[in-house]
A and B are shown apart, each in its own frame.
Chain A
Amino acid sequence: MNIYAASFTEENNAIFDFSTKYGKQILWIILSIPIIIFILFINGKFYERFSSIFYLVSLLSLLGLFVFGKEINGAKSWYRFGPVGLQPSEFAKAFTALAIAKLLSDRKYDLGLIKNQIKAFIIIFTPALLIAVHDPGSALVYLAFFFVLNREGLTLAYFVLGVTAIVLFLLTILLGVKTLVISVISLISIYVVYHIYKDSRFLRFSWIKVLALYIISTSFIFSVDYAYNDIIQPHQRDRFEVLLGLTDDTRNIGYNSNQSIQTISSGGGFGKGFLKGDRTQGKFVPEQHTDYIFSTVGEEWGFLGTTIVIILFILLLFRIINRAEQHNNKFGRIYGYGVASVLFFHFVINIGMVIGLLPTVGIPLPFFSYGGSSLWGFTLLLFIFVRLDAHKSYDW
């Protein structure tokens, strides 16, 4: 539990005097303490029993955005109550985790059956789709629930399929449709020939599968090409191109990542010291207090600092998983996995983006990025688990 507290740091775009953003975040931290206390007080069983209701409430709040939502930065994902804004998508994560845990904790629930898989997918993808309409980046996080499902019996095949799809996607952009179709068909053909060589009756039994493989992969590649050129917006396209090195544009699209990378670099081994990062002070990196907060860590605390932060995250995640495994009751374990997966996803995508290994996706770094909704969302997520964990003897 101590590790949780240790990881609980706040940092913003450290400006030379205490600006309102810093002050605001402190306010939110302070306000989150009563929330934590409140969460910890409630009986663990309460969460389990009411998880479906919470889930429905969160779905409603997401739907409500279409009608009542206010647009910020091009995404209609906020409710505004006077000076304060609330982002329901941050809270929906916790409630979806609860719902999935509830669904899967039924002893007789076999994830090997397709109909059960579909139920699980629906629970996960409904909020994801609602969010994806304005803010595709945030919706991406819901893919994290795959790990939860996997732990509970979903075959690895889906994971492999997903990874293959992503690889094909990137390769299509990089190499172009024709090259890729030719290479993929050749690869499949080699595979087929190999199997025929080993077992001459291969084709007779499996010809449907082989045909399906050709058709699916080719149509996937074409659909990627179509989606990439006609559906995905130009500014999102450009992010991929910068990532893959197709464009050398440090001025417009690549500007964010380029500035972020330079800022981190300039931290050197041991950083420039708290509040002394001149690139942070110079406001070189856009969105530095939210998505790119890690670059401030890099500049002020150097390699030492960044590694420590990463290690802290690793420890936090390991601890969560470890304790989740020790639950006898499925609900606690599944929820714990949900927490760890969601945090992990945020961690990977955000830091990956800041250090230039992933394209720009607007996702906050848990507990570091500025933002009340984000802070409380993660607090909720985490401390419900702390609560469930503290009294796991309740499980049966």
Chain B
Amino acid sequence: MKRSFLLYFLILCISLVFIARLFHLQVIKGTQEDPLYNAAIKVEFDYPERGYVYDRNGKLLVANQLSYDVMVVPNEVQELDTLEFCNLLKIDKEDFTKRLQRAMNYASYLPSVFLKQLAKEDFAFLQEKLHKFHGFYIQKRVIRDYPIRSAANIVGYISEVDEKTARTDEYYQQGELIGKYGIEKQYEAVLRGKKGKKYYRRNRLNKITGPYENGTKDSLAVHGKDITLTIDSNLQQYGELLMKGKRGGIVAIEPSSGEILALITAPTYDPNKMVGRARANNSVLLFNDTIHRPMFDRGLKASYSPGSPFKLVNALIGLQEGIIDESTSFYCYNGYQYGSRKQEFMGCHCDIYGRPIRLHTAISKSCNSYFANTYKRIVEKNNNPEEGLTKWSEHVKSFGLGNYLGYDLPEGDKGLIPDGAYYSRRNKFRWNASTNISNAIGQGEIITTPIQLANVTAAIANRGYFYTPHIVKKIDGKPIQDSAYTLPKQTSIDRKYFDPVIEGMREVFTSGTASWVNIKGIDISGKTGTVENSIRVNGKKVQLEDHSILVAFAPKENPKIALAVFIENGGYGSTIAAPITSLMIEKYLKGEIAKNRQWIEDMMLKKDLYHIYNREILNPDTFEAGTK
């Protein structure tokens, strides 16, 4: 029967293929045992020392200490004296049952953590009696220790790997530790080394009878690699001290290399809080603190409008595009009229009424009108605002703004730099520079983070280029080679245009808005900023205390440090951000604060803004409108 032949034939063929495949799988591959999942084999892990972390001068920031977990393999647990066991571990019977059930739910054949981080006192007692309790054993682990209580946001912390990864990942097992934040997370693969494995054979009674395959499959633990950070711990600790009682961030970069000298966020916490048995409780407190948000790294992620420091960028663009030069002057009438209606007026506090203002004065006295004029001319250069704005945004973005900088920490924010298309999408009407004139003075749609501003300052300090900021200087004693960090990136502004802007920045400290904190013997150049800050309460816009900002670099020639300092609700830029900046610079360049400036240091140390922060929470609607 010809037709029936097809089905017979197919059945036979396919079955043969299956049998062949099964033969391959079961007889050929099956005899190669998989030690990890074979009940007749026991694996013992040996955890290596995790890499140490040092600051740029060799100070030890992160070290190791030992910790002991009680592990269980539920299938091997036999009748035991529960009471004695619970007494040894200092838990109650109900807890014991809960923990054992949790381990069984994970997998009855695999080890899981029964009790984390046994107290040192209990370890000895338990160890002695452990042989009585089948299925339980003690696993030695390596956890962290922080000799210097600083830089919690940089060093991060480690904690248990999550269950999904433990099940499916090839390296990590349940209960093992993995970097979750900061350097620990970013450089996990470098710091963790490689755990050692020892295989033993077991018989039916689960007694170890000897090594598996004579130890040929065993592997030794490999110590993790040490990391040297670019951070200067003295500067970091000093900055954290100055920021006590305030909220905000400080980023300090070395312009000639892009190395991050200090990365401070306030409020911060003692990194030792995230170690050991207390970590679970502490992390709940820290992570759930939605008011102060200590786990939110403001230096990296606080996004807001940059305010007056952004005028520097606009100045450079104006010079590059030939809109202005050193001698161009504009008039200021306590502000700038940007539209035809009466309310379309941008106020200005530079106090130079009716007299011509040139670039360096505009910078040192922070004149809004000058920059409004400049911005308008940049955008409307060819009578095509969309094109002009896009060109403007390209200049801005060449400073690294509007995108991730590409530094080696796991957190960040892109910020926002609008371009022509952005406004054309948003505005259904024909728009021009007047529609978004706030961009001229660093408000409006522009969004930046402190590290982006610090990077811009470094680019200005270098007169036209910057290195991608990075936090790791050496791995395993060898300097980093990655060209992403070692090659400079050029901005779109020619070198010659930086000089007049820098002159203006110097004047800020000699005769301008920050002159009261000028340091004798150091040429600081910078720009103060006051960022308007408002929120919506019950649908109404409520003005809050302004944020205080300063960007600066020093010395003027051969700059060694560029900083951005951001103080939440700090008022005028010169009130708090400026003195803190000058103190940081003095500390870094001179090592100590001059006697005649001690009063500034004292004032900053004592300054506490929490009365303002608490006011925000308690009755925001009684707030007065912020001053400008």
Contacts and interface: CB of A to CB of B under 8 A. Distances in A.
A306 to B, nearest CB: 5
Contacts of A344: 7, 10-11
B22 A298 contact: yes
B18 interface: yes
Interface in B1-53: 1, 3-4, 6-8, 10-12, 14-15, 17-19, 21-23, 25-27, 29-31, 33-34, 37-39
Nearest to B31: A268
A357 B27 contact: no
A337 B10 CA distance: 14
A282 B18 contact: no
Contacts of B128: none
Nearest to A341: B7
Q: Size band of the B side of the interface?
A: 35 or more
Contacts of B30: 265-269, 302-303
A147 B27 contact: no
Contacts of A232: none
B7 A264 contact: no
A150 B2 CA distance: 11
Contacts of A152: 3
B352 interface: no
Nearest to A337: B7
Nearest to A314: B15
A121 to B, nearest CB: 19
B110 interface: yes
A303 B23 contact: yes
A101 interface: no
Contacts of B27: 268-269, 303
Contacts of B109: 278, 281-282
Interface string A34-54: 000000000000000000000
Contacts of A356: 21, 25
Contacts of B38: 266, 278
A251 interface: yes
A307 interface: yes
B11 A317 contact: yes
Interface stretch (A69-77, A208-216, A347-355, A378-386): A347-355
Contacts of B15: 310-311, 313-314
A266 B34 contact: yes
Interface string A246-283: 00001110010000011011111100000000110111
Given A278-B39, A283-B107, A352-B18, A150 B6 contact: yes
Contacts of A250: 168, 170
Contacts of A348: 14
Nearest to A303: B26
B22 A307 contact: yes
Contacts of A150: 3, 6
B108 interface: yes
B39 A314 contact: no
Contacts of B18: 310, 351-352, 355, 357
A337 B8 CA distance: 11
Given A251-B169, A264-B26, A352-B18, A279 B37 contact: yes
A265 B11 contact: no
Nearest to B21: A355
A279 B21 CA distance: 20
Contact of A252 (B3, B31, B168): B168
A297 to B, nearest CB: 10
A306 B26 contact: yes
Interface in A296-322: 298, 302-303, 306-307, 310-311, 313-314, 317-318, 321
Contacts of A298: 22, 25-26
A337 B7 CA distance: 9
A348 B10 CA distance: 10
A340 interface: yes
Nearest to B1: A325
| Chain A CB within 10 A, most for which of B7, B17, B23, B31 | B7
Contacts of A352: 18
Nearest to B28: A265
Contacts of B19: 307, 310
Interface residues on A, range: 35 or more
A318 B22 contact: no
A303 B107 CA distance: 26
A202 interface: no
Contacts of A151: 3-4, 6-7
A264 B25 contact: yes
A284 B168 CA distance: 11
A302 B1 CA distance: 37
A303 B22 contact: yes
Interface string B71-107: 0000000000000000000000000000000000001
A226 B125 CA distance: 67
Contacts of B29: 265
A264 B37 contact: no
A321 B110 CA distance: 48
A284 B15 CA distance: 26
Nearest to A343: B11
A340 B7 CA distance: 9
A328 to B, nearest CB: 14
B590 to A, nearest CB: 55
Interface string B138-168: 0000000000000000000000000000001
A115 to B, nearest CB: 22
Interface string B196-213: 000000000000000000
A17 to B, nearest CB: 12
Contact of A314 (B4, B11, B170): B11
A202 B26 CA distance: 53
A11 B398 CA distance: 67
Contacts of A302: 26, 30
Nearest to A324: B4
B569 to A, nearest CB: 46
Contacts of A317: 11
Contacts of B4: 151, 321, 325
A377 to B, nearest CB: 21
A250 B168 CA distance: 8
B37 A266 contact: yes
A150 B5 CA distance: 11
B338 to A, nearest CB: 49
Interface string A10-21: 000000000000
A265 B37 CA distance: 12
A265 B8 contact: no
Contact of B25 (A261, A282, A325): A261
A12 B612 CA distance: 67
A313 B18 CA distance: 12
Contacts of A337: 7
A268 B27 CA distance: 5
A281 B26 contact: no
Which of A152, A266, A267, A269 is packed against the most chain B CB atoms within 10 Å? A266
Nearest to A279: B37
B3 A265 contact: no
Nearest to A344: B11
28 contacts: A151-B4, A151-B6, A156-B6, A250-B168, A251-B169, A252-B168, A255-B168, A262-B34, A264-B25, A266-B37, A266-B38, A269-B31, A279-B37, A281-B108, A282-B107, A282-B108, A302-B30, A303-B26, A303-B27, A311-B15, A313-B15, A314-B12, A318-B11, A321-B4, A341-B7, A344-B10, A344-B11, A357-B21
* Top 5 A-B pairs, shortest CB-CB distance: A251-B168, A268-B30, A303-B26, A282-B109, A265-B30
Interface of A: 147, 150-153, 156, 159, 250-252, 255, 261-262, 264-269, 278-279, 281-284, 298, 302-303, 306-307, 310-311, 313-314, 317-318, 321, 325, 337, 340-341, 344, 348, 351-352, 355-357
Given A262-B34, A355-B25, 18 more contacts: A159-B6, A250-B170, A265-B25, A266-B38, A268-B31, A269-B26, A278-B109, A283-B107, A298-B26, A303-B30, A307-B19, A310-B18, A341-B7, A344-B7, A348-B14, A355-B22, A357-B17, A357-B21
